[in-house]
Each structure stands twice: as structure tokens, then as C-alpha cells.
Structure 1
Amino acid sequence: MRDKYLIGVDSGSQSTKVVVFNQKGEIILSASEKLREMIARKPGYVEHPDDDLWDSLKAACKKLMKQFEGDPKDIVGVGLCSIRCCRVFMKKDGTLAEPVMSWMDIRSYEKFQDDNPEISYTCPTSGYLTHRLTGEFRDTAANAFQWQFPVDVDTWDWSEDEEYFKSFNIPREKLLKLQMPGTILGYITKEAAEATGLPSGIPVVATANDKAVEALGSGLITSDTGFISLGTYIASMVCGSKNDPSAKNYWTNLSCIPYRYLYESNGIRRGMWHISWFKSIMGEAYAEKAKSEGCSVEEYLEREAVHVPAGSDGLLTIPDWLAPANQLYRKGVMIGFDERHTRGHIYRSILEGIALTLKNHYDAMINELGIKPEKIIISGGGSNSDLFMQIFADAYGVKTIRNEMNGAAALGAAICVAVATGIYPGFDQAVRQMVRQKDEFIPNEENFKVYSRINDGVYRQLPDLMEATLKTVYEAVNKKD
């Protein structure tokens, strides 16, 4: 049987990635386009410049289709996955009325201000890109969040509770029509085909919010498994069966499978950016040295860090490099330096700080749920690191799984296409056929004991212990005479 091709779009905070898969989940080819630096006009405001999300999608698709050597008639559809928790304002014709607000923008979570006559619609990024590709004013239900839009998490549709609906101050006519993941939102228009190079007339399929799509593409469909997404925002999840608004240590996220749920712990803002930051301050000489050795800067740092013992000889890192707009005193912390500490110690300490911070959020979630998953799937670029995978296994005390496809959002989007177009009868069958494990990491018992002692003895309490000091420092530095 000739291969059918499925295109998965992963429109993220830093780049847009587009991947062609066959029906077995194998990568045929991929392309990407970096986004421009976001604009922060004042504290708490974080915007995407101009029409960057659409421009980057067009550029990535053009690169992809230029390389594609198959028959375009065998492309069965496009799965559209884009960044969650952003806010878009559209004119009547579907173009932008204002810059796209990032998920890091405080205004993304504020009540809608209906004071711009040019705004005819407000929606997440997925709704905007859907319109750009299809001309339809439709969106996936699973990217509308209850703190931004009047969505009913139980029915997966706009709420019928008028009092609740009015609390968002969004007129019904300014909301898009919602559809379930794995359904067809529309078809690539002639104009979109010319702009992207994608074949005109192929279906565009609804997915979900980016973390839920990534979870699906990683194979998170059973309750015995946890999931960690190593991205710009790092989060952990487990499968859920219902909406639980009373939870204290997690919140209910809509899954990429209709009427299923994901429970998500608190996360780490600008998560993997901590690695990018440290890499950037290494300087050009270090980068050239790594290049001469035939490896990346991250790989070169890992060569040094792998010889550092668990616990980094007492060097502890709190990965909090991006303060919330309402808590500007919060800062990242490195504490415990002495003469033993090297580049490798600092690098390992950052990895350990990410793992332990997320572990404490994850433990709070699973303890409240009364469950204990026996393994954890880890997705994202950070999972390429054997050292990072082992640190997670050692810190959590369970085996960690790495799949063949670690950029799983694009695969999750392709799985939605496979279901919508009838290649597979359902999501469970599609996941079993398209997601493949690459390898696993077993906990080192001695390292697990070390991390447990550090975490229980001081690390879990460290953010609270540092809070008063950080407030004092912030007030001193920012005091005006």
C-alpha cells in the first residue's frame, strides 16, 4: 500500500516546526522557522511582533513543500497545534487587530476590554491560524482555557451559564465556533495554498492545546504513566477522568482525546531557556572549542557535568529566571558555591534544579490524586540528553522513557489527522501504531538516596526560605531616592 502523508504543525513560542509523517508515524521530512524576539513594552506585557506566527508558519511550510518529493495527492491533511494561553484579537476579515499576546503577558488572563471597534473576534492562536489556513472562524475546544474564555470544561463548549459567561465580558458573537480534536475545521484555501505551498483543498484538523497534543504524541493514554514536557514552559501531567475544579495541587486540562482529561501540576516558567541562558554566557571561544570536538555546546557541557556527583557537591539552583509580573521580586538562585565548583557543576546543578523543582510539583499532584505512576515519559529537546534523562530517573525514583520522536507535538497533531481522515478508527489505535519507544533509564539507587536527602532536608523548603531575602534585595535595588 502506498504511504499516506500526514502533516503535523507545532507552532511554539520560539519557532514553528512542520513535519511530514507517514501513517506509521515515521518522519519523512521536516522544516522549521524561528520566531522573532518578543516585544516587552513594559513589565508584564509580552507580545509577538507584527504577524510573526502566521509569517513563520508560511515560511516553514514553504521550506517543507520545497523539499517534499512525494505526490501531494497523497497528503491527507494538516494537524494544527499552536501555543496555548495566548490571546488574539481579530478584525472582521480575520486579520490581526492588535499584536498577539504571549502566554507570558498578564493581559492574556484579564477580563476582555471591548473598547476597540476593530476587534470582531478574540480567540487563542489556534483559532487565528485556522482562519488563516481555511477562511473559517472555528477552533478546537481543547485550546480554550477556563481562566481566559467562558468555556464549560465538562461539555467542551461555550458555557450556558449566563452569569458565568458575562463575567468574561466577551460578547458571544466575538467567539469562534468550537469543535472537538480529531475533527475537520476546514480546508486549505487557494490563498493559503499560495502563501504556504500546501496543497489546496486538503483538510485542516483540530488538535488541542500544545501540551495536550505533545502528551498524545508521546503516548500518554494510560493512568500508570506520568509525562514531563521539557519546553519553554516545563510541565508534568497524568491522565484524568473528569474535571476537578476543587484540586489544590493540579488543574484540569482538556486532553487531545475528546472527553478525556489531563491533570497538570504547577510548572517552571522559561524552563529550558535556563539551559539556553547558561550556554549563551559560555562565549564564542567555548562554542568554537565544542565545534572543533564535533559536538554542540550542550553536549560539551554534558561531558563535564557527567563526572560531577549527584547533588553537585552542594551547589543548589532554584530555576526561577522569569518573575511573574505580580511578583517581580522573585529571582533564580544558585547557592552553595565553594572552590570545588566548575562549569560542569553549574550545568549539572541547573539540570538538577529543574528536575527537583518539577518533582515537588509532581509529587504534590500525585499525592493528592492518590496514585503512583510506575514510569514517566519525557518529551522535548532536553530529552536528547542522557544525563538529563538519568537525573530525572534518579530524582523521581522511577524509570524514565524516551521515545523515537521527542518533538512530540507534531506527531500528536499527525495522530489527530489520522483519526479525522479514517486512517485509524480511534486515538488509542493510532497511538499504538504511530508512537514508538526509543529507550529507558533505570534509577540509580544511591543517587536516588542522595537526591531524597537533599530534597527532604532543604531543597523543598528553599524557595520559601529565600523569599524574604529576595524581597529585601528587590526593594533595595529598586528603591528610588
Structure 2
Amino acid sequence: MAKYILGIDQGTQSTKVTIFDTFGKKIASHTEQLREIQLGDNGKAIHPDDDLWTSLKLTCNKLFEKFEGNKDDIIGAGLLSIRCCRAVMKENGELFSPVQSWMDIRLSRPYKVEDDEIAYVTTTTGYLTHRLTGETKDTRSNYVGPWPINPETLEWYADEEKYTTPKEMLFELVDPSTVLGEVTEKAAELTGIPAGIPVVSTSNDKAAEGLGAGLVNDGTVLVSLGTYITSMMLGEDYDPNPSNYFTNPGATPGEFLYESSGIRRGMSTVTWIKELLGSDIIDEAEKRGISPENYLNILADDVPAGSDGLYTVLHWLPRPSNIHERGIMLGFNGKHKGPHMFRSILEGIAMTMYNNSQAMCDELDIDLNHIVVSGGGSKGDLFMQIFADIYGVPARRNEINGAAGLGSAICAALALDVYDSREEAIKNMVNFEDEFLPNQENHELYQEINEKVYKHIPETNDELLKRSYQIINGNN
């Protein structure tokens, strides 16, 4: 008899819950969009009200309306939510204030207690664990940023002087693939998830995505296409002071995830250009019975590599340390139209990530020989070919492009002894779809563009953008 696992995958823009069988096959899935992040004064960015929990409840209930199987055959749920966020909770488990997004400037510094009513400070996974199980436990692998945690051992610091947050406000840390607790009767009533099933810890969302994409330590780079775009490699050693990558906790005990620099609001730029091009694109796509993104892919496929000299730098959201940064589209002339802009954005994403990936590999002294692309953008054949052409290596995608949700389910499968090891779980649950080989002529063109033009656009325009920022913001 088939057994099923819930893979909960909550990102910056949506909550997705999928029912997988133990061989990684998607049985049923439902996605609900989160409300737009509220951007406030002084760099604040919040998920409004109790949106993460509200969305999870709605998504689960909608999912079970689609599910034709027996809920009694669900053996567990892997819980994954957005990293680098902060949830401040009351004693009863409710939020004291809305969850702080990873975009919030307050996440760049340690938390200090604001009010006597605050009982706990935790991550999104810790908060949702408490909602689902009533437990004050959390995966140690989702504590990325200014927490009082040893980044190598992933234990709370023993030195009390390192705590800006009182230790009693912090949750108990557990390894990934550990049973956190069981779904309570109240949570079952609210979500439709059967009461009593185990809720399993995962990791930070990028590490879980690496697991769900089948990432192994063999020179393969995973390019993750999300609101934050990054590239990743798997490793076993912790490096406290790398120059061109970050060392993050992995999805299984004893591993680390090496993560390159990335693009903030990355795939949001694709949504931006779609909306900018207006209703004509949406209407024509609807007539053809395809998504607007697919229609834009068809149009942009006729644009030559290099977009006829139109280049895009993806600084739609500046880094906190470079608040003057802005996105750039450079090189317009009269023949450029919407499809050129769309392709230029895709090429800008791929070229930026190639430079970031290569810098990481060079520092690690690893030959980049293969890439895996995950996330919704990997559905587009044009985008996959652009990645292969720019990187100059084969680009693979898997049957499940939402790899984080599958990674969440794999963590549950490991915790529940469905599989004995990471390798066995990947072999049985991660299924390859297809591969794109680089066009050598296009690769050579992109290399020349990158070395002679694209790499130099940000630094060439940096001083002008600083002056502009000072003018627009009153020379403060």
C-alpha cells in the first residue's frame, strides 16, 4: 500500500504544500500566494498580520480537497519555511508583531527585547512548529544571520555575554530530519492535516532545495531561481571567512552548503517585465492557452543571443551595504522591443549568476562541470538554454522543479526511516527530466560580452548612482 509524505515549502511569495509518495512522485499539490510584503520606513519589511500561518492553513485545506487518496496513509510532514526571518511570539504562541522578512533591515543586527509580553524569538520554522505541534523546538539549520549560535557546531553559544536575546526566549535546537512533535488536534482542525502525524525538521530553504535537487559533492552547481536567486555547492568543511561565498548549514547533519552571492528580488524582475509589457501579452497568451511567461519565452526565442546589445543589471533591490544601487538597462535603440527586454533580463540573471558561481568555484579550487537549475523559471526551455550557453556546461532540470518541497519530504523520509541515508533517498526520490547542452557559438559570444562589457557595467555606473541617491534623498 502506498504511503505519502507532506512537503511543506513556504517561500517569500507563496506557500506550497505537496503530497509525495515515497518515490518522489507528486500526488497532489496546492499553492497559495502570500500577501505582498509591507515595506515601511527605515528599511522595515514585514509579512502582514499572521500571513504565514493563515496561508499554511488555507493551502493545506485546499490541497486535501484535491487529494483523492486516504489521509490515513500520510506518514509525516516535512516543515520548511523562509530563512533569515524573525518571529517574535507571546507566551500563548501567537505573534507579538508581524514576522520580519529577510528584506527587513532589522535582520542585519541581533534582536533586543522590546516588550515584557514577548516570550519567544525564533525563525519561521520555529513559529510554525509551535503552531502545528505546540513544541518549542526548531531545526538548528535555519539559523542564518545574527543569532547567538556557533555557526560551525550549530549550538547556542555557551558564553552568556554573546546573548542579546535572553537564552530562555530561544527554542531548543534539533538536527534536520528529526521529529519535532505531532500535529495537535487543534492544528488538525485548522489545517486538515491528520492529528498525531509526525512533523519533521528540515533546514534553511536553500539547503532543502539542494537536497531536493539531488545536489552532491562532485563539482555540480545548483542555481536556485527564486525571489532571491543564488547558486550553491555541497561541502563538508566550515569556512568562517570566505570571500566569494557563504558557508551555511546543510540539509543533513555534518554537511555544509556553500552559497555564492546572489540577486535580491531576482525572479520578481521577470514578473515586473511581464506586468510592464501590459495586457497585450496576457491576452495573447490566454488565446493560445499558455502562460504569459511561456508566450514571452516564444517571442524572446527569436531575439539573438546578446539581445542586440541590451544589457540588464539586476539591482532592483539594493544590498543593505550598498543602498544607492539601482537596476540598470543599458544599450537601447529603436529596434529594441518587449521581447528584447525580457531576454535581456534572463541573460542578466544567468550572466550574474555565472560570475558569482565561478568566483565561488575558483576560491574553492573546484572545476564547475555541471549545473542543475531549480525553481519555477526552470520550466522555460529558453531560460535553460541561456544558462547552458552562458555557463558553457550542461544544464539539467528535474521532474520536480520546486526542489525545496521535495527536499522537505526527503527530510521526513529520513526521519521516519523510509531510507537510511541521504544518498539512498536521493536515488529513490529525485527524478531527472532533461538536459540542455551549450551552443558553443553562443557561449563564445556571451564570454566576450561578459569579459569586455557586462562585468564592468556596475562599477562604471556606481559613482553616478551614488550621486543620484544623494540628490533624490536630499543629500542625507
Do both share a fold (TM > 0.5)?
yes
| Contact preservation (8 Å) 1:223, 1:240 | no
Match of 1:44 in 2: 43
Equivalent position to 1:220, from 197, 215, 222: 215
Corresponding residue of 2:399: 404
For 2:242, which of 237, 241, 247 is the aligned residue? Answer: 247
Deviation at 1:325, TM superposition (A): 4.5
Partner AA of 1:275 in structure 2: V
- Structure 1: how far apart are the matches of 2:416 and 2:362? 39
Partner amino acid, structure 2, of 1:89: V
98-107 or 58-67: which moved more?
58-67
Structure 1 residues 172 and 479 mapped into 2: Cα distance closer, same or farther (>3 Å)?
closer
Aligned length: 476
Give 1:301 shift.
1.2
Cross-structure match for 2:4: 5
Aligned equivalents of 1:364, 1:286: Cα separation in 2: 37
3-state DSSP class of the match of 1:47?
strand
Q: Verify: 1:136 aligned to 2:131, yes or no.
A: no
- 2:455 matched residue in structure 1: 460
State the distance in 2 between where 1:275 and 1:416 align.
31
Q: Deviations over 1:40-81 (max 9, x none)?
A: 221411001110000000000111122222222211000000
Q: Which residue type is aligned with residue 224 of structure 2?
A: S
Which of residues 145, 154, 157 in structure 1 aligns to 2:155?
A: 157
Report the 3-state secondary structure (helix = DSSP H, G, I; strand = E; otherwise coil) of the residue aligned with 2:41.
coil
In structure 2, C-alpha distance between the alignment counterparts of 1:480 and 1:230, rounded to whole Å:
36
Q: Give the 5 Å matches for 1:186-335.
A: 186-335=181-330
Q: Tell whether the 8 Å contact from 2:5 to 2:409 is kept in structure 1 after alignment.
A: yes
**How much does 1:326 deviate?**
4.9
Q: Is 2:442 aligned against 1:442? A: no
Matched with 1:338 is 333
In structure 1, what residue type is equivalent to 2:46? Answer: E
Structure 1 stretches lacking a partner, 5+ long: none
Q: Per the alignment, in what secondary structure is the counterpart of residue 433 of structure 1? A: helix
The 2-side partners of 1:92 and 1:223 are apart by 46
CA distance in 1, matches of 2:99, 2:32: 18
Alpha-carbon shift at residue 103 of structure 1 (Å) = 0.3
- Distance in 1 between residues matched to 2:206 and 2:470, nearest whole Å: 36
Per-residue Cα deviation, 1:265-305 (whole angstroms, up to 9, x for no partner): 11000000000000011212331122112221111111121
* AA at the equivalent of 2:379: N
Could you tell me how far 1:108 is from its partner in structure 2? 1.5
Is the alpha carbon distance of 1:471 and 1:214 closer, same or farther for their aligned partners in structure 2, counting shifts above 3 Å? Answer: same
Structure 2 CA distance for aligned equivalents of residues 119 and 410 of structure 1: 31
Aligned residues: percent identity? 49
Check the 8 A contact 1:156/1:259 in 2, yes or no: no
Letter of the 1:143 partner, please give it.
Answer: N
Partner of 1:61: 60
**CA–CA distance in 1 between the matches of 2:446 and 2:475?**
42
> Using the alignment, how far apart are the partners of 1:93 and 1:417 within structure 2?
27
Return the letter of the residue paired with 1:136: E
Q: Aligned Cα RMSD in Å?
A: 1.3
The one-letter amino acid of 2:167's match is: R
C-alpha distance in 1 between matches for 2:155 and 2:475:
49
TM superposition shift of 1:407: 0.5
Residue 113 of structure 1 deviates from its aligned partner by: 1.7
- Which string of whole-angstrom CA distances, capped at 9 and with x for unpartnered residues, describes residues 309-328 of structure 1? 11111111101111234533
Q: CA deviation at 1:138?
A: 0.4
Task: Look up the SS of the partner of 2:107 in the other structure.
Answer: helix
TM-score, scaled relative to structure 2:
0.98
Q: Which residue of 1 is the match for residue 81 of structure 2?
A: 82
3-state secondary structure, aligned to 2:45 = coil
Alpha carbons of structure 1 residues 116 and 10: separation in structure 2 relative to 1, 3 Å: same
| SS of equivalent to 1:252 | strand
Structure 1 residue aligned with 2:33: 34
Structure-2 separation of matches of 1:43 and 1:400: 41
Deviations 1:321-380 (A, max 9, x none): 112345332110001111221212111100000111111111111000000131111000
Residue-by-residue CA offset, 1:382-435 (whole Å, 9 max, x unaligned): 000111111111111111000000001110011011111111112210111000
Gaps of 5+ in 2: none
The residue type paired with residue 432 of structure 2 is Q
